[in-house]
Amino acid sequence: MKLHFNNRRIGSLALVLLFFAGSSGKVTAEPRNETLDKIVVSATKTPHTLGDVPVAAEVITREELLEKNVRTVQEALEKTTGLTIEANSGSYGDKGHVSIHGLEFRHTLVLIDGQRILGGHQNAIDIQQISIEMIERIEILKGPASALYGSDAVGGVINIITRGTPDSPEFSGSLGMGSRGTTIGTVSAGTGTGKLGGRFNYTYRESDGVDKEFDPYYEHILQGTLSYDLSETMDIDLKPYYSYSEMSKQDRFQERYGLNALFKWEPDDVSTARIRGSLFDYHHWTEDRATDYVLDDYELEVGYSRVLFDKHLVSAGYEFWQEEREDESKSLFVDQNLHSFYLQDEIDLSPVVIVLGGRLDAHEKWGEEINPKASVMYKASDALTFRASVGTAFKAPSLLKLYGDWMMGPYLVHANPDLEPEKSLGYQAGAEYAFSKDVTGKVSLFRNELEDLIDTRIVRMGPPPWDMYYENVDEAMTQGVEVNLDARLNDNISARAGYTLLDTENKLTGKELVHRPDHKFFAGVDFRIPVADLRMHIESAYTGERWDDEDNTIRLDDFWIWSASIAKEFGEYTEVFVKVDNIFDEKDIDDEYDIDGVEFLAGVRVDL
């Protein structure tokens, strides 16, 4: 890779040097660390702190989102090592996809409070449908996770935990306006009285996008939480959701609604029972009804965890999942059911913790999938922790690929009811060291081997329509290294840096996978100036060279993106903010449609 050190790159190195300057000096390991104290549940479906969780995970908190004035989930995730964000996903109406460790976007399972959500092109989930204002934290689980979560968790899981209900009245609102005709407005309110509480949020977004003749859209999002404490040991939460978006220049519309009901019972100090029932409906149509389909998901999950013999935390559960597709434009009306059972044992042999688990998914058409996973954590000291895991995962073929015959431009697309699930085998190993209560470093290695990937085979004989077939033919590999450093230099300055090295291969051709950068790097610094009630954030992100074609003949240049934000508090309840992204006006990047020059957003937030 060719690197020319211009002013931007020198500036990036300055950020890194500042980071190391703050984290150097005498090292004294202390037991508590702010980063490691974050709570994570998704890694094992049981609560742990990040420092003690036996399976590697990451957490982005609400406080971190507010600190950086983050406005979308894409923006929240894009500075996480190992993740790739597609900020604008093309004409289909999607605004953001996420992939993990170089895998396809469809290989990331996206959940809200454990519930599967719908809506996105090519089996990938559009993550913009979630309002930042309702997020309590984002839990990120990298690597194969089908041992707990079943289909889709090939690259990992993004579980977005929404806010609970407050104990007293709360209100907040914000309005931001900026380049590309962007407007983002939010209103949130909540209250609680004894056993009963509620919180609701409304978010409105509109933007002209990059191309004013093609991209303009607006969307409404309504989310909420209703909670009721049935007793000291039992509680229930209801999480309603609704969104509507319209791309007026394309006459394209999307509507979603969902309900997630969560019941928790803690009969004693060593056991927890959970029941979750949910539905999610997604409708996508165009004005001419050339596209017009509805997807429905229905889920029921029953789980139970209990400590046995002081050393075993055993979790078991059953899950039912029904998918439906009503596709008027393709005359397709199909459904499928999946019954699943999972079992996991967290074995505490301090300083070693071993996690053994597996899941059986039984499908009425393609049979059973069994996916095991084993993880081990070794706490060499209060400061040093090692983790390793190995597991398998799968991605079930979609209803459309299994059963839908339809026309796509000049192609007659043929269903293949004999498709098998895509499968993977993944490995991870890493070390985490707390240099002090304010400085943490992590290094991890990963490898994923995939087989039975579904691809298309096109037969062109004579004039169109030509034939397109789905087949399990592809094999691929991704592997790499991640490095993360987090430091609080003092009460008013904190810094983060992360680096990802990625190597990929299409095993059938021996070529690298397209649009996977060999190197990615980011660094960011947060400043607080208490006497002026000011917050500032500065960050730089580097994306390395990558191939633009499957034959590996066209190499795309590397690039840097610099961004900055500042927020000023006025009194106890009001804050004014300004954000500038892509300060040095990068544009015309072939595989980054949404990067098209400087962007800015300015606004005000009121929090009562």
| CB of 34 closer than 8 Å to CB of 61 | no
Place of tokens 């309900």: 259
555-600, pLDDT tens digit by residue?
999 999 999 999 999 999 999 999 999 999 999 999 888 899 999 9
Rounded to two decimals, the pTM is 0.92
Q: How far apart are CA 358 and CA 369, in angstroms?
A: 10
pLDDT score of 79 more than 90: no
Instruction: For residue 58, give the nearest of 28, 73, 79 by alpha carbon.
Output: 79
484-541, pLDDT tens digit by residue?
999 999 999 999 999 999 999 999 999 999 999 999 999 999 999 999 999 999 999 9
> CA torsion angle for 208, 209, 212, 218 (degrees, to 10)?
-40
Q: Is residue 12 very low, low, confident or very high in pLDDT (cuts 50, 70, 90)? A: very low
193-204, pLDDT tens digit by residue?
889 999 999 999
**Cβ-based burial of 289 (10 A; exposed 0-12, middle 13-18, buried ≥19):** exposed
| CB of 280 closer than 8 Å to CB of 309 | no
pLDDT score of 8 more than 60: no
What separation, in Å, do the N-terminal and C-terminal C-alpha atoms of the chain show? 51
Within 8 A by CB and 6+ apart from 365, the residues are 336, 402, 417
The letter for the amino acid at 10 is I
Within 13 Å, how many C-alpha atoms sit on residue 9's CB side? 10
325-380, pLDDT tens digit by residue?
999 888 899 999 999 999 999 999 999 999 999 999 998 777 899 999 999 999 99
- DSSP conformation letters of 462-508: SSSPEEEEEEEEEEEEEEEEEEEEEEEEETTEEEEEEEEEEEEEETT
**Domain extent listing, the chain:** 7-607
| CB of 45 closer than 8 Å to CB of 315 | yes
Pick the range with the lowest mean pLDDT from 154-158, 328-332, 470-474, 603-607.
328-332
Within 13 Å, how many C-alpha atoms sit on residue 565's CB side? 24
pLDDT confidence of residue 89: 52
pLDDT confidence of residue 90: 54
CATH 3.40.190.10 at 7-607, yes or no: no
pLDDT score of 270 more than 80: yes
Q: Where are the alpha helices (DSSP H) in 144-200?
A: 146-149
Instruction: Pull the structure tokens for residue 411.
Output: 């192609």
Residue percentage of the chain with pLDDT more than 90: 78
